[in-house]
Structure 1
Amino acid sequence: MAFNTKFTELFKCIGIKYPIVSAPMAFVTGAELATKVTLGGGFGFIPADIKTAEELNRDLKSAINLFNSSPEILPIGVGFMNFILDKEKKKDGLSTLETALSHKPAAVWFSFGDFQEYLPIVREMSPKTKIFSQIQTVEMAIVSAKLGVDVIVAQGNESGGHGLINNASTLTLVPETIDALNDSGNGHIPVLAAGGIMDGRGLASALMLGASGVVMGTRFAASKESLFKPQAKEMLVKSCDGGVSTIRTNVFDKLRQPNVWPEHFDGRALRNKTLEDNIDLDDEEKMAEKRKIYGEAMKNADYSRAVIYAGAGVGLIKEILFVKEIIKSTIEGAKVTIEKNKTLCETKT
């Protein structure tokens, strides 16, 4: 079954067949995961965050080697957190953004903050690179459209990892964003649904909402190519009832030093003993003690206390699969769901 959407049309020049994108997850997505998503017919992203320009350069060179070629356009994207770009101090050599653009990636992804000042750099250094904007509100989408972005990622509250503390669910954010873009004359921009999407039913649902594709994060975190520790992957598989087993919180950010996250963002993660401690974030003496305990847990991959970011759909993950298997099952599942539900609209004669 072909999935011809605005998104696949935009990237057909690099062979993208399916409207499935892997999120640029720090500490989770490496060159192998991103390239395998693209080679599987989707579109993969590598995160630039928490990396030096040299480390990012090594990742991108690894991706090129995995593609076994030196393409004119590197068929993966690079994700950036805008507030980290703002803090980045360029010394000698290229910045992380300039390093990424030197490899001519098919896309860059901007999230969490104002990215307007970086657009001229992208357009000058790599004119063929498409620009993704991750948004959590309709207003953010309208602003992004005015800036001339190529793809908008509508991130709902169900999403794993970080997002805006107060924002709508994927179910409502996606169609309202699409309506607003249409009303403002920007209906040509593909909108990708992000948040809680784990399988073909999620893809089919997003397409029915009017999205041009989906972004999957947690599902790919539980892939064999993920950089997650095996223990973390197993905990994702064992989790169920994601509305209960996950929670949005900034406790893990406060415990980690330094805390780089602005106050209006928090993250959805699996509940664990750290959260059961009911930490008083204003008690500096106790926080110092808890930071030491938490630091040891992170160091030793003790996930009874260390954070595992996960979306509210985590209970739908039943096994750890190769990336190509995840993409195949998602596409087949979407096809079955769409075909099965065609009968709901048929009129018997």
Structure 2
Amino acid sequence: MGRSPEAKTGPPAQTSPMRTTLCDLLGIEVPIISAPFGPFDSVGLAAAVCEAGGLGSLGTAIRPLPDLREQWRRLRERTARPFAINHTTRPFDEEVFAASLRARPSVISFHLGDPGDLVKRAHDAGCAWVQQVMDVDQARQALDRGADVLIAQGTEAGGHSGFIGTLALVPQVVDVAGAVPVVAAGGIADGRGLAAALALGAQGVAMGTRFLATTEMAISPEWKQLLVEAGSRDAVHEDLLDVLLPPYNRPRHPAQGRLLRTPFLREWADRRDELPERIGEIGREVVAAVLTGRGHEYLPFAGQSVGLIGDVRPAAQVVRDVVSEAETILSALGRDRAPRPAAGAPVPSR
């Protein structure tokens, strides 16, 4: 794996005992990755996460290539630290993928399917490859393709989430990953989640829903308020998501979209039979809303970690709080499990 000469790393954002092999591999300071958020503009968020020492990410879905190039330019203006550009199989755009390799980010991440020879192409361009997986078979396939990092995403996650709980999935993926770092995703929104992930053998965490509810994320305040007010049971799987987003003839995938229900979704849940005939009209309506900041009226992605989110705060504060809380928890657990002297035994001097 090479390192892009354009992705220069600035002075360390912070030093922390939380630093893991994931950090060394990706050139980051703390083991936290922000989700790419598909078509939404997350430049401000990605820059803030990068500057706080984590790995910020940008999505590519749906948006035209000129828009994406402008996002990549803006992000490079705001940070010299490593970041990721994400792609998915649904939809996969060869022109956009080739352009992202020419942009040479430090990391290419990939979701929802077999990357095939894309991994080699990324490595040839000097980019690390981070692959999201949802079960052990997908993990083995990604390892065979040469993935540098695996994100084990559990069913609790927002957007297209898996079908195995994070607590059960992560150690299974760790067991087959060998020396390849594993990142836990799904249901993680605070330091307790990071501490738990490290205890399971992961080398870091990826968070989406928590970072949606940040001041820098370019979504409507109404969506952020929905996240603050929602409980975990409000974040539901809904297969209409795949019907409503292009390309409308894409193959089905076992992963379902997890999001908050809206009046729009409730209406069409009872009229599913009408959608095939009207998908051109309704699909354009949904895409236009997503691209103009009204996506929350249709498809407000959210994971079950909404039950842990009680405010909207700056992304750097989220990173600091997660790391600090995890350090405190792991330190306390270490003290609690330290051998205790037998009754009457001398206490070692300090």
Asked if the contact 1:254–1:281 (Cα under 8 Å) also holds between the matched residues in 2, the reply is: no
Mapped partners of 1:314, 1:261: distance in 2: 29
1:147 corresponding residue in structure 2: 145
TM-score, structure 1 as length reference: 0.84
Query: How far does residue 30 in structure 1 lie from its aligned partner after superposition?
Result: 2.2
1:249 corresponding residue in structure 2: 238
For 2:99, the aligned partner's letter is T
Q: Does 1:309 align with 2:277?
A: no
SS at structure 2 position matched to 1:269: strand
Aligned pairs, number: 322
The counterpart of 1:262, out of the listed 251, 254, 259, is: 251
Mapped partners of 1:55, 1:308: distance in 2: 22
User: What per-residue deviation string (whole Å, max 9, x for no partner) do you get for residues 293-324 of structure 1?
Assistant: 97598678385x52211111111111111111
Query: How far does residue 344 in structure 1 lie from its aligned partner after superposition?
Result: 3.9
1:80 corresponding residue in structure 2: 87
Q: Spell out the pairing of 1:1-349 with structure 2 (5 A cutoff).
A: 1-12=16-27, 16-67=28-79, 75-85=82-92, 88=93, 95-124=95-124, 126-127=125-126, 129-164=127-162, 167-181=163-177, 187-240=178-231, 242=232, 244-256=233-245, 259=248, 262-264=251-253, 265-277=255-267, 278-284=269-275, 291=282, 295=286, 301=294, 303=296, 305-349=297-341
User: What per-residue deviation string (whole Å, max 9, x for no partner) do you get for residues 50-108 of structure 1?
Assistant: 122222211111111112x6xxxx611100012322xx3x6xxxx21222122221100
Mapped partners of 1:113, 1:333: distance in 2: 34
TM-aligned CA distance change 1:310 to 1:324, over 3 Å: same
TM-aligned CA distance change 1:81 to 1:233, over 3 Å: same
User: What per-residue deviation string (whole Å, max 9, x for no partner) do you get for residues 254-274 of structure 1?
Assistant: 345653653223211113334
For 1:83, the aligned partner's letter is R
Residue ranges of structure 2 left out of the alignment (5+ in a row)? 1-15, 342-350
Mapped partners of 1:260, 1:329: distance in 2: 43
SS at structure 2 position matched to 1:139: helix
TM-aligned CA distance change 1:284 to 1:153, over 3 Å: closer
CA RMSD of aligned residues (A): 2.6
TM-aligned CA distance change 1:142 to 1:229, over 3 Å: same
Query: How far does residue 288 in structure 1 lie from its aligned partner after superposition?
Result: 6.9
SS at structure 2 position matched to 1:105: coil
Asked if the contact 1:256–1:291 (Cα under 8 Å) also holds between the matched residues in 2, the reply is: no
For 1:266, the aligned partner's letter is Q
* Runs of 4+ that moved beyond 6 A: 285-290, 296-300
User: What per-residue deviation string (whole Å, max 9, x for no partner) do you get for residues 131-157 of structure 1?
Assistant: 011110101111111111110011100
Query: How far does residue 341 in structure 1 lie from its aligned partner after superposition?
Result: 2.5
TM-aligned CA distance change 1:268 to 1:260, over 3 Å: farther
Mapped partners of 1:317, 1:76: distance in 2: 25
TM-aligned CA distance change 1:282 to 1:37, over 3 Å: same
TM-aligned CA distance change 1:286 to 1:103, over 3 Å: closer
TM-aligned CA distance change 1:146 to 1:292, over 3 Å: closer
SS at structure 2 position matched to 1:83: coil
